[in-house]
A and B are shown apart, each in its own frame.
Chain A
Amino acid sequence: MLKKSLLFWLILSPLVVVILFPFGVMFVTAFRPREELFTYPPTWTFSEFRWANFAEMWVKTNFGRALLNSLYVSVLSTVLAMILSIPAAYALSRYRFPGKRAYRTFLLMTQMMSPIVLVLGLFRMMVTLGLVNTLNSLVLTYAAFNMAFTIWMLQSYFSTIPRDLEEAAWIDGAGHLTSLLRVFLPLAVPAMAVTAIFGFINSWNEFVLALTMIRSSDGFTLPVQIYSQVAGRYQIEWHHVMAATMLATLPVAIVFSWLQRFLIRGMALGAVK
């Protein structure tokens, strides 16, 4: 076992290094004093932890605003997607109905549709709807594009909750609503939470639509705000950019690391199969 572990870690080590490398770069750049940014040759060490970088960055890059925008868009689109997905996933896992096969095919197809191919049409649609340059345009599109994933994931979890529990509740005297609320829901909440968090992360990280729909910097979400700090600029304040990147990614990365085993389970259950 020890020998095997060493061997495996040895084989994995190049990959591990390459994965962790950008985190290291992010970290040392974010904390380093500005003067040490362009020393040549660059070094991994630096003279002091310059916490002030974060405070400066917060103001200069309008980080708070972008954070709020990202939160608004991600929370609302996730809530919308979940509200629409939960009944659909329940119907898929519990009922036979005409057109079920066609509907599942449609879901698979929308799961494959990427925003980029449709982005021009989407933009024109939002112009027509008068939603361009509003965060709600992102809420709608993120919800629509996330739904295929959330429905698929939810229905594969719902299918593991035995139907006869609900049937037993009906026989015990519960109506449909009561059996949903008191028997099904308590058992489904963990799966819903996990699915919602993955949907949230997807929205949090989205770039193309946010770049396209939002024209004024007040409405930028975090990825676009950070991108705007490096795109087409003469002078890039890399320590601010890295500080912002770190703040924007670290919480998500931690939550994700904690949840990734659910994703594997979801796949084994048939999210992909």
Chain B
Amino acid sequence: MASVTISNVGKSFGTMSVLHNINIDIENHEFVVLVGPSGCGKSTLLRMIAGLETVSSGEVRIGERVVNNLPARERDIAMVFQNYALYPHMTSYENMSFSLRLRKRPQAEIDQKVRDAASTLNLLPFLDRSPRQLSGGQRQRVAMGRALVRDAQVFLYDEPLSNLDAKLRVVMRTEIKALHQRLKTTSIYVTHDQIEAMTMADRIVVMNGGRIEQIGSPLDLYDRPANLFVAGFLGSPSMNFLKGQMRRSDRQAFVETEGGMWLPVSPDAAAREGQPVICGIRPEHIAISGDGGVPATVEVVEPTGPNIEVFISLAGQSASAVISERRTFRPGEEIALHWLPEHASVFDPETGQRL
């Protein structure tokens, strides 16, 4: 097991530059998730770590070794592919044992390792089947098993769950996390699904347009997003953004909207009086009552089961709130909103950065 260090890494395909100045330090045993919208360069970065793409600039290190020019097979990594990449002409057993056979391990050891991995993954009954005869979930497990038998330094995952149905995805998510807690192999996991990122990661790397937006633990990122992109990307339903101007009085701070509504925000925000800003408040941080607070109008109500999502209009801007108590709302109903000032972040509309 090893750390992975990515320093000043850039990548271009021909003249098109897709990754710019990427720096990530991944510690031994860490589970790091790269998350971002599709096309932002996550797979490319992962494939550079794997040795499937060349590194255009900068340095990739696994442990102490610079691996920029090392072929994939010498990097001692294992990878789970999005489409599993199972060898169609081999059985599950042969798929899982392929790497060991290439390394000419003794037959007894191969057998032992494959069976161990298979029992961990509940694959024992399927070892003689070819990938064609397996369900999507079973194929995914064989792909995992292929990585597992390796005792590799680093596990790489490229959206391994995106081809599974929603239920199975949740199950596998937990299994992969449990597996990591047991084996503690350094893992880098690529996904575009922010829930996967939040639930699985020790640390999340949020990427956008070939750049890193923020690195941090899931709750750090959730509570103190560094910019509008991270704030909007993490969390579902996503954060409300309301435009206005900064107002300060005593110890308190507010954002005044165009309609003259005063939204309480954290007084720590580094914004001048009168500066145009964006107030960000998560739907689940909003409480609804009959009066007091910020007045708003109910537009659409969507119960999701555990919660109710209320779409509202606030001084001509749209927002949403998620509440868990059972109560009924009528469209058009006048309501009042409350939240704790420290739950509301303030962003600079020019730069998108948190203030």
Contacts and interface: CB of A to CB of B under 8 A. Distances in A.
CB–CB under 8 A between A and B in the complex? yes
B99 interface: yes
B99 A167 contact: no
Contact of A170 (B73, B83, B87, B89): B73
- Grouping DSSP codes into helix (H, G, I), strand (E, B) and loop, the B interface class, with mixed when no group exceeds half, is loop
Contact of A168 (B51, B71, B85): B85
Interface size bucket, A side? 10 to 19
Contacts of A171: 50-52, 72-73, 77-79
A187 B102 contact: no
A168 B72 CA distance: 9
A175 interface: yes
Contact of B73 (A164, A173, A183): A173
Interface string B61-83: 00000000001110001110111
Contacts of A173: 73, 99, 102-103
Given A164-B83, A186-B89, A187-B89, A172 B77 contact: no
Contact of A165 (B72, B78, B87): B87
Interface string A29-67: 000000000000000000000000000000000000000
How large, as a class, is the contact surface on chain B? 20 to 34
A178 B150 CA distance: 18
A168 B89 contact: no
Interface in A120-165: 162, 164-165
Contacts of B79: 168, 171
Given A183-B87, A186-B89, A170 B71 contact: yes
Interface in A168-199: 168-175, 178, 182-183, 186-187
A174 B102 contact: yes
Nearest to B88: A187
Interface string B87-128: 111000000001100110000000000000000000000000
A179 to B, nearest CB: 9
Interface in B157-185: none
A151 B92 CA distance: 33
Contacts of B50: 167, 171
Given A164-B81, A164-B83, A187-B89, A170 B102 contact: no
Interface in B280-302: none
Contacts of A187: 88-89
Most chain A CB neighbours (cut-off 10 Å) among B51, B72, B150: B72
B42 interface: no
Contacts of B78: 171
B141 interface: no
10 contacts: A164-B81, A164-B82, A167-B81, A168-B79, A171-B50, A171-B52, A171-B78, A171-B79, A172-B73, A178-B102
Interface of B: 50-52, 71-73, 77-79, 81-83, 85, 87-89, 98-99, 102-103, 146, 150
Given A172-B102, A173-B103, 9 more contacts: A165-B87, A167-B50, A169-B98, A170-B51, A170-B72, A171-B51, A171-B78, A173-B73, A187-B88
